[in-house]
Structure 1
């Protein structure tokens, strides 16, 4: 008997409906249930062929449990190793590389230094940063949001540099990103299940949470059909590249072009009271079919995780393959090893307006005087304060 487990927290409607749907199909040798954990021993397999993860982003104990389970062969959905490494800023960069339009976005250092760091920890951070270039690239108004966040938490709309400095003071240790505002005509949220089933849902993020799915597509006729086809194509591209089997992607449509806004939602909202009965029915059925298929393909004792093409292509590059097949270079014997003393490198420091003089072993250039890792431009910055 192969078990499909679902790991969840506060949500009620989707997990119970998912379990009932899998079991109602009466597939020979497969049952579904809520995951039960009574102990976690290193390298011990679980009793589950498949686990649907809906909560580990909030419970580190569960994330560690799922990694241990995956090591012993459980098909964890979504891959806990990739989920742990993924974040929104990287997603944007990857989307740009694979040809999916995204808003102009830059990464910002945290307002406060991380714990167990000092001013010297930031010696590689230029001070001041190229704020004028950053602001010209992104433009205003813009949105400032955590580079690895979700659920619309700690999201700020900023209208100018001074507004950004003021609101950035509230972000503490969060690493933020600054992203251009996309004024849209249509907006979509798309489920993608098993990297093959896509449901495109009209969505209005400016509505109250329970009314966000109460929206209609504004595009009509041939324009509408072309738009939906492009949205579906972009949704598939992103999920195949990232390796997610259960995810949502959001698009803001600007001048007929779908711009990917948010596509790192590996435990997406699936509550009947927010997504509505029709969307709920679709996601329950698609998730049940996907989980059953993964259970049927499950091979005990081997890796049954899904990895995106970003990772798989990197592992399979010709350079890597050549290195793995070539005979290793002989290690030098003790007699062959030579140690050469190197004089300290010289560095240049400015001397008023008269040019530069050389100094040996300069003290690190500290980017901040206070606890903050970033601050408003210095008086001599090219960025004019208004």
Structure 2
């Protein structure tokens, strides 16, 4: 019997419906239940072939448990190793490389120095930064948000440089990014399950939370069909590149072009009271089918994780440089045999005559500023005037 487990916190509607839906299918040798953890021993396998993770982003203990489970053969959805390394600024850069439009975005250093660092830790950071070029590239109004955040936490709309510096004072040690504002005609949120099933949901982020899915697309006819096809294509491209099996992607549509705004939601909202009955039923069914398929393919003791093409292509690159053939004198079947190497005794080194050297004092480190290593307003000679 292969178990499918779901690891969750305060949410109720999706986990229970998921378990019931998997079990109602009565697939031979497959059963679903809530994950139960009574001990976590290093390199100790779990009882689960598949675990759907809905909570480890908030509970480090669960994240460590899932990595250990994945190492021992559990197919964890989503991949806990990649999720631990993922962040929004990198995702934007990756999206550009695979041809998915994203807002113009730049990275900002934290306002306060990270703990256990000093001014010298930031000797490679220019003071002031190239603010004129940054502001010209992004434009105003803009949004400032954590480069690795989520859930609309610490997100600011900034109207001009002075407004940005004022609000940046509140961000502490958070590394922020400044992002172009997209004034949109339509907005959608898309579930993507198993890197193949996509549900496009009209979404209004400016509405109260419980009314955000109470929206309709403004595009109609042929324009609407073309837009939906492009959004589906972009959603699949992003999830295949990132390696997510359960994710949501948000697009702001400007002048008929879908621009990816947020696409790192590997524990996305799936509550019936916010997404609505139809969307809820779709995601429960798609997630149940995916989990059953992954359980059937799971091989005990092997790594059963999904890796994005960014990682898999990078891992395959060194192999492409390796020799493709074995030397004629060494049969392929014998490559792994021990090779005896004749020991060579090194020649005795000849001692060099000592040369008197003048002592050289270690140069003082170049510190760019006496102020805290943090983003600050331009210097007095900047083209941008302070308010």
Give yes or no for TM over 0.5: yes
CA distance in 1, matches of 2:131, 2:349: 47
CA distance in 1, matches of 2:211, 2:294: 34
Which residue in the other structure is 2:271 paired with? 271
CA distance in 1, matches of 2:302, 2:361: 56
Which residue in the other structure is 1:322 paired with? 321
Deviation at 1:333, TM superposition (A): 8.7
Contact 1:368 1:374 in 2 (8 A): no
CA distance in 2, matches of 1:47, 1:383: 61
Deviation at 1:379, TM superposition (A): 1.1
CA distance in 2, matches of 1:337, 1:385: 66
CA distance in 1, matches of 2:91, 2:361: 42
Which residue in the other structure is 1:150 paired with? 150
CA distance in 2, matches of 1:156, 1:368: 28
Deviation at 1:375, TM superposition (A): 1.2
Which residue in the other structure is 1:283 paired with? 283
Contact 1:128 1:381 in 2 (8 A): no
Contact 2:118 2:373 in 1 (8 A): no
CA distance in 2, matches of 1:383, 1:366: 24
CA distance in 2, matches of 1:168, 1:334: 62
- Superposition pairs for residues 62-77 of structure 1, below 5 Å? 62-77=62-77
- Superposition pairs for residues 1-386 of structure 1, below 5 Å? 1-317=1-317, 319-323=318-322, 362-386=363-387
CA distance in 2, matches of 1:291, 1:92: 28
CA distance in 1, matches of 2:314, 2:346: 35
Q: Note the aligned Cα RMSD (angstroms).
A: 2.3
Once the two structures are superposed, what CA deviation does each residue of 1:239-266 show, in whole Å capped at 9, x if it has no partner?
A: 0000000000000000000000000000
TM-score by length of 1: 0.90
TM-score by length of 2: 0.90
SS, match of residue 145 in structure 2? strand
CA distance in 1, matches of 2:348, 2:129: 46
Which is higher, the Rg of structure 1 or of structure 2?
2
Q: 1:335 to 1:280 in 2, by over 3 A?
A: farther
How many residues are matched? 364
Deviation at 1:373, TM superposition (A): 1.6
Deviation at 1:326, TM superposition (A): 9.2
SS, match of residue 26 in structure 2? coil
**Alignment gaps of 5+ in structure 2:** 327-340, 351-359
CA distance in 2, matches of 1:262, 1:186: 15
CA distance in 2, matches of 1:230, 1:91: 19
Contact 1:367 1:373 in 2 (8 A): no
Once the two structures are superposed, what CA deviation does each residue of 1:28-50 show, in whole Å capped at 9, x if it has no partner?
A: 11000000001000000000000
Q: 1:283 to 1:333 in 2, by over 3 A?
A: farther
CA distance in 2, matches of 1:127, 1:337: 50
Contact 2:185 2:252 in 1 (8 A): yes
Once the two structures are superposed, what CA deviation does each residue of 1:163-208 show, in whole Å capped at 9, x if it has no partner?
A: 0000000000100000000000000000000000000000000001
CA distance in 2, matches of 1:326, 1:166: 62
SS, match of residue 316 in structure 1? helix
Deviation at 1:380, TM superposition (A): 2.2
